[in-house]
Amino acid sequence: MKPWLIAVALFVALLLGGCAESPFRKQSDVANRISPQALMALQESAAVAYAQGNAPGAIGLYTQLVQSAPNDVQAWHRLGNLELLDEHYAQALLAYEHVLQLGGGDAGVWHNMAVIRLREAQAALNQVQAQAPSPANAMLRANSARAAQALPRVLALLSPQPEERSAPAPATSSGGGRP
C-alpha cells in the first residue's frame, strides 16, 4: 500500500473516531459559557420537570445539565432513570456508567443496570425464535423459549420504577408507566 494512501486512511479513521462521541459529551467550553445563575435555573427547571413526571422535558433539561455540569452525579442519575423509564436502554446505561465513573454508584444504579440487561437478554432470547427456525435448532429454540418465559418472573421481582437514593422517584402518569 502506498504511504499517501495509508496517511489518508489514517486521517479518515481519526476524523470518524471524533464523531463517535457519547451523546452526553460536550466540549469543555460549554461548561465555561454558562453562568452559575443559569446553571442553577437549569437545575431547578430539570428538577421540576422530573418531579412533575414530564419525561421528554426532563430528559432534554437533564441532557443540557450534564453537558453543562458533567460532574453532577445526581443529574446523571436522574437522566439514567428517565431514559430507563422511556425504554432508551443504551442511553440509560451510558448515564448510569457516568454515575459510576463519578463515584456515585449506589445499589439503585446497579439495580437499574441489572433491569436493563435483563430486558435486553429477554429481547435477545426472543430473537432466537425468529433466527433459528430450522429443525436442527429445535433444542436451541426450546431452551431459549424457556429462558425467555422465566425472565418476566425475574423482572417482576424487581421494582417497576428505577430507584434513586438522593431524590424521590419520578412520578408516573396513567399513560404507560412513563414518568
CA-to-CA distance for 171 and 109, rounded, in angstroms? 18
CA-to-CA distance for 64 and 98, rounded, in angstroms? 15
- Note the pLDDT tens digit of each residue in 118-171: 999 999 998 888 887 788 788 888 899 899 898 888 888 886 555 554 444 443
Cβ atoms 68, 39 nearer than 8 A: yes
Rounded mean pLDDT, 104-109: 89
- Note the pLDDT tens digit of each residue in 50-61: 999 899 999 999
- Note the pLDDT tens digit of each residue in 30-42: 444 789 999 999 9
Q: Structure pTM? A: 0.68
Helix, strand, coil % (nearest 5) of the chain? 70, 0, 30
